Structure 1
Amino acid sequence: METIDQFAWIGWLAVIAIFLVVELVSGELTFLMLGFGGVFGLASGAVGAPLWLQVIVAAAAAALLLLFVRPPLLRRLRRSADPKAFNVDALIGLAGVVTETVTPLAGRVKLVNGDSWSARIREDRSLAPQTPVTVESIEGATAVVAPRTSEEN
């Protein structure tokens, strides 16, 4: 048992290295906090704490870091993320007008952003040219549209 206590620092270094490698792959800061918990365990061993106390210190430090440090770090990292939709996602909810009759199989619409799209409607009906529509979804290169209600106009 004395040998284990004497060489526990090697185990702590291995645990820290493993957690850091896993963190590099995951990027969610969980394993980084666990790795820092391992650093606290290593430090407590360096000041002469027995192995059981090192484990308790490491676990407590990791838990505190996960609870109090990780959430603000994640908020700060995600704060700069662009919340705007882009590409096809930006077209969902966009208004437009029918340019060629839209049926469940085919049609054409011009959106307010100036794009012209092939379109279809989910319902078993057709929309005549000049009918105001809203994009519900994009399926491949086809906009699935619905007629706009009078509240949306």
Structure 2
Amino acid sequence: MPTKEINEFHVIDTIEEANKTPRVVLENNKLKKQTKISGKVLEAQYQIGENFLILVTEGNPFEEALYIYYFSASLQLMDSLELSATYAEGMVRNISLSDSGNINFSFFDNDEQWVLKVHSNPKFSFFSNKYPVKRKMSCFHKSWLSLSKS
């Protein structure tokens, strides 16, 4: 599926409560639909076929988390990942789109390279994520996203 960088989503509001992960309300300009997700800063957005890939951070470089969301064309959540480590600094840097459609970036360290793949068909995964990659869905499910350090 072709992947292209887009600029269709924008932040409507941020929701911050004590001792809770910040949340952001995003709106898709074309669809005129909104969604609430964890995070605060919209880092990148892509269209993959008819679907959307959103990268959001908490905006705290001293203990940062990257949230990756894969939405259908109607903004139904299809898959999500989190990249974070307790007390670890992080910042999304060097984001690039490879010829194969993968998204490459640095997060914890400039010298490391993370590769985010969006599969054309969901794959069953069983404990496929290794720390610091986290998934909130059940341990045995179909996943569209895979994230690995290269």
Say yes or no: TM over 0.5: no
Richer in helix (by share): 1
TM-score (norm 1): 0.22
TM-score, normalisation: structure 2: 0.22
